Amino acid sequence: MTWAEVDLTVVRQNALAIKSYVDDRKLIAVIKSDAYGHGLVPVARALRSVADMLAVATVNEAIELRNNQIDTPIMILYSSLPQDVSAIIEHDLQPTVSSPEFCKSLFQLASEKRRTVRAHVNIDTGMNRDGIRYQQATSFIDWLLSLPQIEVASIFTHFATTDVNKSSQMYKQLDRFKIVVSELRQQNILPPIVHVASTAALLSPISTIRTDFNAVRVGLGLYGVLPVMMKRMPFPLSPALTWKAPVISVRNVKAGESVSYGSDYKANIDQKLATLRVGYGDGYPRQLSNNGQVMIKNKLYPIVGQVCMDVTICSLDSYNTVSVGDTAILIGQEMTTNLPVNQLANRAGTIPYEILSQINKRVPRLYNTS
């Protein structure tokens, strides 16, 4: 079996560190996609009384939270469809709205049930994937005020890039958003919460967005992971997840023998190999074939041959004492050696978000609160 250990105290400490970095502005904790693989409900519980709001991507994720007695306000980050309206009202969820048709269905059912729904407006300032275009945002929000059952709790936007080398794109989006904010303020209809900063924007050295608005909407940072390799952090965050797998088999191969499917790895000297019980069927990226590294007893070893569905093979050196039953670390830290998820992501040609959210259901999560 392969497993992931998640330290919920670390998640909570990261959340507190973020809150203090933004001088106690509101924290909208993004826990979509099973809390980036860390476990939706356990993470939500760990953030109780720290997160002012939880954010998920789908109505089903929100219902799972409600079914587990999580009573923190929950926003749905993306547009919902009319068929979601009854669940939204029944479970007291806060949708993100941009379509008048959807708002009319929401208004109708809310009126029938005599309920008020809090909603959020995503303002599309250049990401071009969801939300109301910034040119229409003010009149849309003004129109929403004509639907008394819908209360606009917040407005937000999301940046397409926070890369320092592309800061002009970020500033362009920020300028567009600030224009909408000032229009709404002039008309006295600015919603109480205004937020733009995801993890990368929060940590970005190129702007003041962490203090420009009164909430931040952070995912990856909660888990102690940075969107990119950053040389300096303005405050400390610690990774909460360690992914482990056992050595299930050890063997010696002679120079010239091949390893795993496709025989695309050939030992050029006599070698000792260890086979780990983890594969792409657990979400371990196949792109790490002949390319990744694993850690055993505080030492890094290269993956050799193709990552299989259930097993992965690494090449040991001649000084090792690795044997069956030992534990390999796939993501994490041990004594002086560190194997961060960002390094895995780089080698696999992807981003830490994908690595974490792909860790499969077959991988049990073990929780400890240190």
For the annotated catalytic residues, the residue numbers are 32, 261
Tell whether residue 77 is a contact of ligand PLP (CB under 6 A). Answer: yes
Give min distance, CB of 224 to ligand PLP, in A: 12
Cβ distance to ligand PLP smaller for residue 119 or 329: 119
Span near ligand PLP by CB under 6 A; candidates 1-9, 169-177, 218-226, 237-245: 218-226
Selected from 42, 219, 285, 352, the binder of ligand PLP by CB under 6 A is 219
Residue from 217, 239, 280, 363 binding ligand PLP (CB under 6 A): 217
Q: Mark the segment that binds ligand PLP (CB under 6 A) among 6-14, 196-204, 283-291, 307-315.
A: 196-204
Q: Which is nearer to ligand PLP, 119 or 278 (CB)?
A: 119
Q: Does 227 bind ligand PLP (CB under 6 A)?
A: yes
Q: How far is the CB of 200 from ligand PLP (least distance, A)?
A: 6
In the bound state, the residue with its beta carbon closest to ligand PLP is 219
Residue number, 114 or 129, with CB nearest to ligand PLP: 129
Which is closer to ligand PLP, CB of 236 or CB of 325? 236
x-or-dash string of contact with ligand PLP, 302-341, rule CB under 6 A: ----------------------------------------
132 binds ligand PLP (CB under 6 A): no
Q: Decide if residue 30 touches ligand PLP (CB under 6 A).
A: yes
SS (H, E, C) the chain: CCEEEEEHHHHHHHHHHHHHHCCCCEEEEECHHHHHCCCHHHHHHHCCCCCCEEEECCHHHHHHHHHCCCCCCEEEEEECCHHHHHHHHHCCCEEECCCHHHHHHHHHHHHHCCCCEEEEEEEECCCCCCCEEHHHHHHHHHHHCCCCCEEEEEEECCCCCCCHHHHHHHHHHHHHHHHHHHHHHHCCCCCCEEEEECHHHHHCCCCCHHHHCCEEEECHHHHCCCCCCCCCCCCCCCCCEEEEEEEEEEEEECCCCEECHHHCEECCCCEEEEEECCCHHHCCCHHHCCCCEEEECCEEEEECCCCCCCCEEEEECCCCCCCCCCEEEEEEEECCEEECHHHHHHHHCCCHHHHHHHCCCCCCEEEECC
Q: Does residue 220 belong to the site contacting ligand PLP (CB under 6 A)?
A: yes
Q: What does the binding site for ligand PLP look like in residue numbers (CB under 6 A)? A: 30, 32, 77, 158, 198-200, 217-221, 227
